Structure 1
Amino acid sequence: MWHATSMSRPSVFEFAGGADAFRALAEAHHARCLADPVLDHPFSRGVHPEHVQRLADYWGEVFGGPARYRPGHSGMLAVHSGAEPGDGMGERFVACFVAAADDAGLPADPEFRAVLRAYMEDAVAEVFAHGLHRPPAADGLPTPRWDWTGRRA
C-alpha cells in the first residue's frame, strides 16, 4: 500500500505500471470476455483490429496516462450503445475486469484494486444508461478521469 512520504503520490496509471500494464490488463480482459458465454456475444459482430490497444489507451487515459484514445469518451459510448444489462452482463464484465487485473499481474494493493473496481462499476452503469432505447451520447464528452479518491469532477 502507498504511504505518504516527501514524494507526491503517483497516479493510478503510474502505480499500475504505465502503458504496458494497461496493455496487459486489456489483453487479459479481452481474453476473459471471449471465454465467457454471455460476454462473447458482442464480439460476434467483430471488433476493431486495434481493439485491445484502444482499450488499453482508453483505460490508461482514464487513470492518468496520456490522452491516446482518439474516438474519445463519446466514441466509446457510441461503440457500446445498445448494451442492455440482461443476463447479468454488467456484473460478469466487472468480474472479468477484476480477474484480469490478477491475470495481468497488476499490483494487489487493496486501495488500487478498489479504485479499479469502482471505476468499472461506474463505467458499466454509464454504458447501460446510454442503452438501446435512449438517445445517443452527446459529442465531445470528456473522458472521465479517476484518481485514488474516485471519479474527479
Structure 2
Amino acid sequence: MSRPSIFEFAGGESAFLALAAAHHERCLADPVLNHPFSHPGHPQHVARLAGYWAEVFGGPALYSLSCGGHSAMLDIHAGAGAEDDLGERFIRCFVQAADDAGLPDDTDFRAVLRSYMEWAVRDVLAYSPRDSQVAPGLPVPRWSWDGLQGTDAV
C-alpha cells in the first residue's frame, strides 16, 4: 500500500494556503523576521508561498508555471544578507505555523516538514551574501516521505 504524497496527506492546496498564512503571521510577530516580512512584497506573497510549498511536497507545478521555479524563488532572497539566527527563527515559525494551520499532528509528517525546512533554510541562506548569483533554470525541489527526491533537484 503506497502512502499519499505529503501534499495530499497535509490536506491539499487549502492546507498549504493555511500554512503559508500562519507562517507569514508568525514571521511578522517575530522581532527579527518582522523586518523582511513587513516590507511590501508581491501582493500575492502568501498565495505564491503556498503554491511553492505545495509543489515541493507533491502538489501541482503551479509555482513553476507562473513564477519561474526554484531559481526565481532564490533570486528573491539572494544577496539580502541575513541575521545570524534568522534561519532558526524561520524554522521555528514554520513548525509552529503547522499547528496554527491545523495540519495533521502525525510524527512522521511533522518530521518531514521540519527536515524540508531545515534543508530549505540552508539552501536559501547559501545565497544570502551580497554578491550571490543564482543559476537560471533550477527546478522546484521535490520532497517526499523519504526526503529530497533526485540528485538533480537542486
Tell me the equivalent position of 2:114. Answer: 117
Stretches of structure 1 lacking an aligned partner (at least 5 in a row): 1-6
CA-atom RMSD, angstroms? 1.2
Q: Give 1:45 deviation, angstroms.
A: 2.9
Secondary structure class of the residue paired with 2:62: coil
Secondary structure class of the residue paired with 2:85: helix
Give aligned pairs, total. Answer: 147
- Equivalent residue runs for 1:72-83 within 5 Å: 72-83=69-80
Do 1:38 and 1:87's aligned partners in 2 also have CA atoms closer than 8 Å? Answer: no
Match of 1:138 among 127, 135, 140: 135
Distance 1:45 1:106 in 2: 28
Do 2:13 and 2:50's aligned partners in 1 also have CA atoms closer than 8 Å? Answer: yes
Tell me the equivalent position of 2:124. Answer: 127
Tell me the equivalent position of 1:4. Answer: none
Give the letter for the 1:19 counterpart. E
Q: Give 1:67 deviation, angstroms.
A: 0.6
Match of 2:49 among 33, 45, 55: 55
Distance 1:48 1:55 in 2: 10
Distance 2:22 2:91 in 1: 13
Q: Cα deviation per residue 1:66-119 (whole Å; 9 max; x = unaligned)? A: 011122100100111124442411000000000000000000100000000010
Secondary structure class of the residue paired with 2:4: coil
Tell me the equivalent position of 2:93. Answer: 96
Stretches of structure 2 lacking an aligned partner (at least 5 in a row): none
Distance 2:118 2:76 in 1: 18
Distance 1:82 1:35 in 2: 24
* TM-score when normalising by structure 1: 0.92
**Identity level (%):** 65
Q: Are 2:103 and 1:106 equivalent residues in the alignment? A: yes
Do 1:83 and 1:128's aligned partners in 2 also have CA atoms closer than 8 Å? Answer: no
Do 2:71 and 2:138's aligned partners in 1 also have CA atoms closer than 8 Å? Answer: yes
Match of 1:16 among 10, 16, 20: 10
Q: Are 2:146 and 1:149 equivalent residues in the alignment? A: yes
Secondary structure class of the residue paired with 1:120: helix
Q: Are 2:61 and 1:67 equivalent residues in the alignment? A: yes
